A and B are shown apart, each in its own frame.
Chain A
């Protein structure tokens, strides 16, 4: 539906000024092709001179407004907007930028002091420096470990398998360390897909454990591994092929896969046929706790075409000509579905698998598409797990952008931080949320002419409530200890039985199994934000160390109270009219109550809930 809207978007042409919008390329700015091969963190640290605005910005929506094209992203995005005749809005304010980039890169809102210092900073490249600072923080690893944990679905209990908390934790710690150390993304993927050893002692074998299918033959587990990695690392719905050929099924779903056969998927699954997960007692005091030794202990293991039960349609010995079950081929041998490539002589099968998956362009394409979605709330190809390599030009809202992001990511050696930095430093990312050139049309969303707000994720929201009120929860996590941020929880089923867990569930964290993460809204969310004591006690002066408590200990001046509450909650100073409204409210009754009410109302403002 969204794509259809986009196709007609150019026909809808806009207000008078926008069609004459001209995208200005700085004179010496490299073309996107050049920059994709030279992009690096240091090269971008110095933004083009157009970024410095010593004078007031031009009036909103002025045609030809000076928006610097910082890198290839801007060239592609503003180029597309120019083609489509859509005018971009203005750049974000420092406050708007800081809140956004802090949430996106670290999952946390900035505290008041950080906002004040950032606004006061006159250093020309302060935004770039802030991005680097955030990328280097521990909170960066927390936030992206949550993302990667969702991607590989690291969870202690799932409907098909149990990692137990011990396996979940060691897997979680592996991810977090990898993000902290800046491990290349392709290497992380390869390590996970070939993980071996004791699932309670080593993180990566849990990738295999998570896909174990108990109610079927081992081929079902092999299929899970191939289809899961196909979906999560290649962004393609290989699951469809695990029951039937693509022909006459997938034409409308994924035309590339429509030409593939179930046998092609079997060949993907066959890469796992040497691997076994052997259960072992995981806890001397509890016989129900099992860990697994995952290793390539079945060198002669093959993917046999001999099943009649389990989770898939029967696997039969197909005749290559007739397609009937009367054939003589009794097993599938490993071959990569996208290229037909087979393992090298002597190469361990899962190593070959990881090598081929991560070497294929679809790997980087899927990754940048996911990450773009994390930063903008809307991916270049939606849904992110159904990329059709045969239809990239029509499926992607901006095919060139997708390709340039991919080549940039590959050229950086799958440097996760460098990719995020390229995005965060771009003017595209730094556009304002407010659309000021004229009336807004929802159909323009995928052109990114403004930063389009999306609801904070479950964990971001709870952490933002805690940080803005300065009252932090204490989560006891089995095997890890106490953490004070929801973003530090090792999986999305943690704390399920307490009020925080209920709130996190209400805000759609999902369960890394059959409940998907969502940032939809609901009645339950609104009720909780207004009436849950998680919120209402945090705005009380009588709550120890609360923001309201601290403010009121230092001042009774309504103007100062308003300033401090806006800063702590919305990460910005109030506008003059907001300030005077707040002052009259604070003066309209008991100051303590009114102060509490003001922060309550700010916590319930759409601006707080969205980013």
Chain B
């Protein structure tokens, strides 16, 4: 049913070039080189090896229609937020408070609006990054694999995969791109997939998209549009070949986007909304994200990015240029208002809210060091981190997994994988929620190697955090 046009010989969940029944692992067992024990791990982790039973016919949750992917590069301190560890270092105005019947201690003073929504939020505390290097980790969580690995250089952003997978279900009213990235700067794109799946990057502004309306007015534009078609015979003759006709198609799609009523309203916001979402450009991006998913005009994956969490120094300094206070002052009202609004909006299915149909995910590239602060009153890079999910059919009001008292070791994985939750697992979770087979192996990649949506997921190494549902 999926993507016949995109991937004519796309085999799902089967082995690579060797054909069904003769997987790499099978080969390695036959060859018996001894490398088998670590074959599937990008980075060897003995715990992974116990989870290698092959996933057969992945069952997908398909509980979400779209995903809002909130990315916090720089990496917030997990032990001051999602996995609060109270100690001598904790500022009193963090106001740690018990919620959910004592199940969670949460810094209500730092994240008051978020605290109001804890009943909708599921926190996974057994998250573990692969690399404590910003750029590497950032690319990793957005492409669901090692950027330095075999398919790292051709890998699309996970939003581009969502966009491609949703292509087959698009209708004529779906005028918006499948993947829109808000205030996200230069991020991974469509990889080896067609450029139309690349993130449609938008820098939010109160007046909306800078390029959706013609700056010289609609009348002038209509003149110009018809002049383009009068003088450019190549658009109808196709004399310049297929790529030029592809470009012509994008002109037509752009025109449809410009002509569709109310499109720019989706990218715009009122002063009231700007204020209610915390008066920041991040808040603006979540207003737009809300608009895009609730409009149901083809956008399935929205990324909103809030930089500035790399607090090596002065992490608790309210007067610092960037600290947990300044960052949370932007993050918290925006996130709280987003969940409030999505919950108050009807979904596409009777009885469901927009939040029920929208998976809201919060990730960073890694976490930060635990315990007392470093000699610059900050926290440094650390692999342990938390992921936060809400909506999209997952059950909120829960904490999955636990770290030890210090927060530097995992004490309980807290999910059926019984291992650290990796960025690849987060991606599998998103794909499953959206009804995308995370074990898919495409065979249209330029290396003719086979492109796995989530590397090794077909072998059961990674998979959705099923316990979220």
Interface of A toward B, CB cutoff 8 Å: 157-160, 162, 213-216, 220, 224, 237, 239-240, 243-244, 248-249, 251-253, 308-311, 313-314, 316, 318, 322-326, 383, 385-386, 433-435, 440, 442, 445, 452-455, 493, 496-497, 499, 502, 505-506, 508, 510-511, 513-516, 518-528, 530-533, 536-537, 578, 581-582, 585, 593, 597-598, 600-602, 604-607, 609-610
Closest residue on chain A to residue B234 by CB atoms: A606
Q: Which residues of B contact A157 (CB under 8 A)?
A: 135
Inter-chain contact B155/A514, CB cutoff 8 Å: yes
Inter-chain contact A601/B447, CB cutoff 8 Å: no
Closest residue on chain A to residue B215 by CB atoms: A536
Inter-chain contact A523/B138, CB cutoff 8 Å: no
Judge if B20 is at the interface, Cβ distance under 8 Å: no
Judge if B406 is at the interface, Cβ distance under 8 Å: no
Closest residue on chain B to residue A223 by CB atoms: B148
Inter-chain contact B34/A326, CB cutoff 8 Å: yes
Other-chain contact of A434, B33, B239, B247 (Cβ < 8 Å): B239
Inter-chain contact A433/B240, CB cutoff 8 Å: yes
Q: Which residues of B contact A521 (CB under 8 A)?
A: 195-196, 243, 246-247, 249-250
Q: Which residues of B contact A308 (CB under 8 A)?
A: 38, 44
Q: Which residues of A contact B146 (CB under 8 A)?
A: 311
Q: Which residues of A contact B239 (CB under 8 A)?
A: 433-435
Inter-chain contact B27/A248, CB cutoff 8 Å: yes
Least CB distance from B383 to A in Å reads 10
Least CB distance from A542 to B in Å reads 12
Closest residue on chain A to residue B254 by CB atoms: A526
Q: Which residues of A contact B228 (CB under 8 A)?
A: 601, 604-605
Inter-chain contact B34/A508, CB cutoff 8 Å: no
Least CB distance from B1 to A in Å reads 23
Q: Main secondary structure on chain A at its contact with chain B?
A: loop
Q: Which 8 A-B pairs have the closest CB atoms?
A: A520-B195, A252-B17, A215-B131, A526-B254, A325-B34, A521-B247, A324-B34, A531-B211
- Known interface pairs A248-B18, A314-B44; A610-B244 also in contact (CB < 8 Å): yes
Other-chain contact of A605, B191, B198, B231 (Cβ < 8 Å): B231
Inter-chain contact B139/A159, CB cutoff 8 Å: yes
Other-chain contact of A453, B186, B214, B243 (Cβ < 8 Å): B243
Least CB distance from B140 to A in Å reads 8
Q: Which residues of A contact B133 (CB under 8 A)?
A: 159-160, 214-215
**Residues of B223-263 whose CB lies within 8 A of A:** 223-225, 227-228, 230-232, 234-235, 239-244, 246-251, 253-254, 257-258
Judge if B469 is at the interface, Cβ distance under 8 Å: no
Q: Which residues of A contact B42 (CB under 8 A)?
A: 311
Q: Which residues of A contact B240 (CB under 8 A)?
A: 433, 453, 606-607, 610
Inter-chain contact A601/B449, CB cutoff 8 Å: no
- Known interface pairs A215-B130, A582-B231; A525-B35 also in contact (CB < 8 Å): no
Inter-chain contact B232/A224, CB cutoff 8 Å: no
Give 22 A-B contacts (CB < 8 Å), ordered by A residue: A158-B135, A160-B136, A215-B43, A308-B44, A323-B34, A383-B447, A445-B241, A515-B186, A516-B154, A516-B191, A521-B195, A523-B200, A523-B253, A530-B225, A530-B254, A531-B210, A536-B216, A601-B230, A601-B231, A606-B232, A606-B248, A607-B234
Inter-chain contact A581/B33, CB cutoff 8 Å: no
Inter-chain contact B150/A239, CB cutoff 8 Å: yes
Least CB distance from B321 to A in Å reads 15
Least CB distance from A229 to B in Å reads 15
Q: Which residues of A contact B27 (CB under 8 A)?
A: 248
Inter-chain contact B186/A493, CB cutoff 8 Å: yes
Judge if B393 is at the interface, Cβ distance under 8 Å: no
Q: Which residues of B contact A324 (CB under 8 A)?
A: 32-34
Inter-chain contact B253/A581, CB cutoff 8 Å: no
**Which of B224, B225, B230 has the most A CB atoms < 10 Å from its CB?**
B224
Inter-chain contact A610/B253, CB cutoff 8 Å: no
Inter-chain contact A383/B34, CB cutoff 8 Å: no
Q: Which residues of B contact A252 (CB under 8 A)?
A: 17, 448
Closest residue on chain A to residue B176 by CB atoms: A523
Inter-chain contact A515/B188, CB cutoff 8 Å: yes
Q: Bound state CA distance, A523 and B448, in angstroms?
A: 28
Q: Bound state CA distance, A311 and B455, in angstroms?
A: 14
Q: Which residues of A contact B378 (CB under 8 A)?
A: none
Q: Which residues of B contact A313 (CB under 8 A)?
A: 35, 38-39, 41, 44
Q: Bound state CA distance, A452 and B209, in angstroms?
A: 34
Inter-chain contact A522/B250, CB cutoff 8 Å: yes
Other-chain contact of B150, A159, A240, A455 (Cβ < 8 Å): A240
Judge if B153 is at the interface, Cβ distance under 8 Å: yes
Inter-chain contact A253/B31, CB cutoff 8 Å: no
Judge if B87 is at the interface, Cβ distance under 8 Å: no
Inter-chain contact A525/B242, CB cutoff 8 Å: no
Judge if B192 is at the interface, Cβ distance under 8 Å: yes
- Known interface pairs A525-B247, A536-B215; A497-B185 also in contact (CB < 8 Å): yes
Q: Bound state CA distance, A322 and B34, in angstroms?
A: 10
Q: Which residues of A contact B254 (CB under 8 A)?
A: 523, 526-527, 530
**Residues of B178-235 whose CB lies within 8 A of A:** 185-186, 188-192, 194-196, 198, 200-201, 203, 209-216, 220-221, 223-225, 227-228, 230-232, 234-235
Least CB distance from A248 to B in Å reads 5
Other A-B pairs beyond A159-B139, A601-B231, A606-B248, 17, CB < 8 Å: A215-B130, A215-B133, A253-B17, A310-B43, A313-B38, A508-B195, A510-B189, A516-B191, A518-B190, A523-B196, A524-B200, A530-B251, A531-B221, A533-B215, A593-B220, A604-B228, A606-B234
